[in-house]
Structure 1
Amino acid sequence: MFEFIRSIYVVVLFVLLEALAVSYYAHATCYTQARLLARSNQVAGGVHGLLAGIRRYFLLGDENRALLAYAAELKERLARYEEAESIAGFDTALAEIGESKYRVMNASVISNTLNRAQNLIVLNRGTRDGVVADMAVVSPDGAMVGYVVDCTERYAVALSVLNTSFRASGKLADSDYFGSVYWDGVDPDVVTLGELSKYSEPQPGQAVVSAGFSQYFPAGVKIGVVESAVLNPTRTSYTARVRLTARIARLTDVLLVENRDLYEIRDLENSEKVKQHTRQK
């Protein structure tokens, strides 16, 4: 043992001295601290990108199957449109619709936390790609994931559905009963649909989709399926446990959806005339 230590003590001493030198340099001035912080952030971003690339490689099989299923669905929709094209006035009706109120683009996941109360998702798209705050984030098969809260030129950060600050409107599919979707910070595969009417009677296996009242998500975005539901003590509303459709832990790619009308609606809500009618007298 002594011989082994003696054979490597020069290397160990060199490493210790280098560590001391770097530590002294790092704390010498504010400038050196800033440079080292910037360099460490750059290295951390590169490592996250490398790990994300490796993870995407091993999940290519699942992604390809999901893409094939989505392509099949799109082909079916296209066939219906082509069939309807023979109807008189169909082309005119499409022209009158004009540009869709939603804009969609793809992005890859750089990092994605799961073990915190305030989980975030970092994406490889930014303002130079047309990303803006408040864009909805959905999985490739159209399930709710989160929404963008901030972005730089090359990257964006989204608030995950697995964040205790996340809120969205959801409803029981094929019904008019809606409530608030949020995460209680416990199970990363389950969210809560609260404030459901006492007349809704949610059943296990019943699908839950976005209600369309949220400014982030279009109506009908898949959220999950009901696992169980209970009436509150006053028997005035249900609280349902909903198993998420999106597999948040395995996300490699997502879709970003922008509501083109969002800012016009917000400007109207914050207009002076509206404020005149909402001020407390």
Structure 2
Amino acid sequence: MRKLFEFIRSIYVVVLFVALEVAAISYYAHSTHYTQARLLARSNQVAGGVHGFFAGIRRYFSLGHENRLLLGRVAQLEERLAQYEEAETNARLDSYMQDIGESKYRFVTASVVANTVNRAQNLITLNRGRQDGVVEEMAVLSPDGAMAGYVVDCTERYAVAMSVLNTSFRASGKLADAEYYGSIYWDGLDQNVVILGELSKYADPKPGQEVVTTGFSQYFPADVLIGWVESASLNETRTAYTVRVRLAAEMSRLNEVVLVGNRDFYEIRNLQQSEQIEQHTRND
């Protein structure tokens, strides 16, 4: 009992102070309506702060879930944006090609679905097929009209083209503003350079000179830009040049293409393969 009295005596000052403070605050709080309103506002502010603190903690732990929802939404928007951009690009290219007017050649635009540049046999897959007017042997040009390849197979909705960066690719080319021509092919070494081989020793190619198609090829119209002379060297017999040509088409950045078809191609080919022509060939 004595210890209890000693404990009460040691803290009675604090207890008395707290009791007086409570009594004073109670008297102050009930003294006027103004003080009641102020204390109520202050208590609401404190309570609001406490609730806000715990709400912030709850929001923090829910950030992961919200972030996943936002990422999903971003992915959906990116997909829609890609669809809109593809549609806009195709519409723009189609409009541009329609302005060219009727000619010996017909034009179709397409987007590149797949494209390789680091193999020996590189191919380009396009999002247009037979239902869009695409057929085999159509030329494939970059959007600015440079040689890129030619179509080798089609389905109803897609086409595959042989890239100019394919060791099986062949076309005819010449120096611009000159009559000397040779064979265009890729040696499989540099994805930015093709070879113009068997060019006459009288051609005298100069670095920077334009190289274009001849029109003799069954795939490409005449004067399609291939690239520019990088260097040239005579063969061992000094009868022809082998010319390194830097490509005008940026094959590693090919996203859209223009397909060019010769309206007379099949008529000419059928004529060349007719029985009469074969008879004359056999006689030779």
TM normalised by structure 1 equals: 0.66
1:237 maps onto 2:222 in alignment: no
Tell me the equivalent position of 1:224. Answer: 227
Which of 245, 261, 269 is the aligned partner of 1:258?
261
Shift of 1:125: 0.2
Distance 1:221 1:172 in 2: 11
- Structure 2: stretches of 5+ with no match in the other structure: 1-78
Q: Sequence identity, in percent?
A: 68
Q: Which amino acid aligns with 2:108?
A: M
Tell me the equivalent position of 2:166. Answer: 163
Q: Which amino acid aligns with 1:104?
A: F
Secondary structure of the 1:279 match is helix
Tell me the equivalent position of 1:136. Answer: 139
- Equivalences, count: 197
Q: Structure 1, residues 40-73: CA drift from partner, whole Å, max 9, x if none?
A: xxxxxxxxxx8xx59x89xx9xx9xxx8xxx8xx
Distance 1:255 1:99 in 2: 16
Secondary structure of the 2:236 match is coil
Which of 138, 149, 154 is the aligned partner of 1:151?
154
Q: CA RMSD in A?
A: 2.5
Q: Which runs of 4+ in 1 moved over 3 A?
A: none
Tell me the equivalent position of 1:271. Answer: 274
Distance 2:197 2:209 in 1: 15
* Within-5 A mapping of 1:195-210: 195-210=198-213
Distance 1:203 1:169 in 2: 19
- Structure 1: stretches of 5+ with no match in the other structure: 1-49, 79-97
Shift of 1:100: 1.6
Tell me the equivalent position of 2:183. Answer: 180
Tell me the equivalent position of 1:15. Answer: none
* Within-5 A mapping of 1:27-176: 99-176=102-179
- Higher alpha-carbon Rg: 2
Shift of 1:105: 1.1
Distance 2:263 2:189 in 1: 34
Q: Structure 1, residues 124-161: CA drift from partner, whole Å, max 9, x if none?
A: 00111111000000001100000000010110000000
TM normalised by structure 2 equals: 0.65
Tell me the equivalent position of 2:193. Answer: 190
Shift of 1:194: 0.3
Shift of 1:279: 1.1
